[in-house]
Amino acid sequence: MQSKQASVQLSFLVSPFVKPLNYSTNTSTSLTPTASTCSIVKKCITLLQLRASSSQFKLKQVHAFFIRHGVPLTNLDLGKHLIYTLVSLSAPMSYAHNIFSHIRDPNIFAWNTMIRGYAESENPTPALDLYHKMHVSCIKPDTHTFGEKVHSVAIRNGFESLIFVQNGLVHMYAAFGHVEEACKLFELMRDRDLVAWNSEINGFALNGRPNEALVLFRKMVLEGVELDGFTMVSLFSACAELGALALGRRAHVYMSKFGLSENLNVNNALLDFYAKCGNIREAKKVFHEMKDRNVVSWTSLIVGFAVKGFGKEALELFEEWKERDWAGFVKEAYKYIQNMPVPPNAVIWRTLLGVCTVHGHLAIGEIARAQLLQLEPKYDGDFVLLSNLYASEQRWFDVQKVRRTTVQEKVKKTPGHSRVELGNRV
Identify the pLDDT of residue 256: 81
Band the pLDDT of 415: cuts 50, 70, 90. low
Put simply, whether the predicted model's pTM sits higher than 0.75 gets the answer no
pLDDT mean over 253-273: 89
Identify the pLDDT of residue 282: 95
In the chain, what percentage of residues exceed pLDDT 90? 8
What are the residue boundaries of the structural domains of the chain, listed by start?
165-226, 244-319, 325-412
Output 264 or 55, whichever has higher pLDDT.
264
pLDDT for 121-130, tens place per residue?
767 668 777 8
Band the pLDDT of 271: cuts 50, 70, 90. very high
Identify the pLDDT of residue 8: 36
Identify the pLDDT of residue 30: 39
Identify the pLDDT of residue 327: 64
Band the pLDDT of 143: cuts 50, 70, 90. low
Identify the pLDDT of residue 290: 94
Identify the pLDDT of residue 58: 79
Q: 113-122, 300-309, 413-422: lowest mean pLDDT where? A: 413-422
Is it the case that residue 51 has pLDDT exceeding 80?
Answer: no
pLDDT mean over 193-203: 88
Identify the pLDDT of residue 287: 95
Band the pLDDT of 283: cuts 50, 70, 90. very high
pLDDT for 10-31, tens place per residue?
333 333 333 443 333 333 333 3
Task: Give the best-scoring range by mean pLDDT among 117-121, 255-259, 376-380.
Answer: 255-259
Mean pLDDT of all residues in the chain? Answer: 78
Identify the pLDDT of residue 425: 62
pLDDT mean over 345-365: 83
Output 396 or 142, whichever has higher pLDDT.
396
pLDDT for 72-113, tens place per residue?
878 888 888 888 888 888 888 988 999 999 888 888 888 888
pLDDT for 151-177, tens place per residue?
666 666 666 667 777 877 787 777 767
Identify the pLDDT of residue 286: 95
Identify the pLDDT of residue 269: 93
Q: What is the SS3 string spanning the chain? A: CHHHHHHHHHHHHHCCCCCCCCCCCCHHHCCCCCHHHHHHHHHHHHHHHHCHHHCHHHHHHHHHHHHHCCCCCCCHHHHHHHHHHHHHCCCCHHHHHHHHHHCCCCCHHHHHHHHHHHHCCCCCCHHHHHHHHHHHCCCCCCCCCCHHHHHHHHHHCCCCCCHHHHHHHHHHHHHHCCHHHHHHHHHHCCCCCHHHHHHHHHHHHHCCCHHHHHHHHHHHHHCCCCCCHHHHHHHHHHHHHHCCHHHHHHHHHHHHHCCCCCCHHHHHHHHHHHHHCCCHHHHHHHHHHCCCCCHHHHHHHHHHHHHCCCHHHHHHHHHHHHCCCHHHHHHHHHHHHHCCCCCCCHHHHHHHHHHHHHHCCHHHHHHHHHHHHHHCCCCHHHHHHHHHHHHHCCCHHHHHHHHHHHHHCCCCCCCCCCCCCECCEC
CATH topology of domain 325-412: 1.25.40
Identify the pLDDT of residue 145: 57
Identify the pLDDT of residue 154: 65
Band the pLDDT of 32: cuts 50, 70, 90. very low
Identify the pLDDT of residue 419: 63
pLDDT mean over 114-124: 75
Identify the pLDDT of residue 146: 55
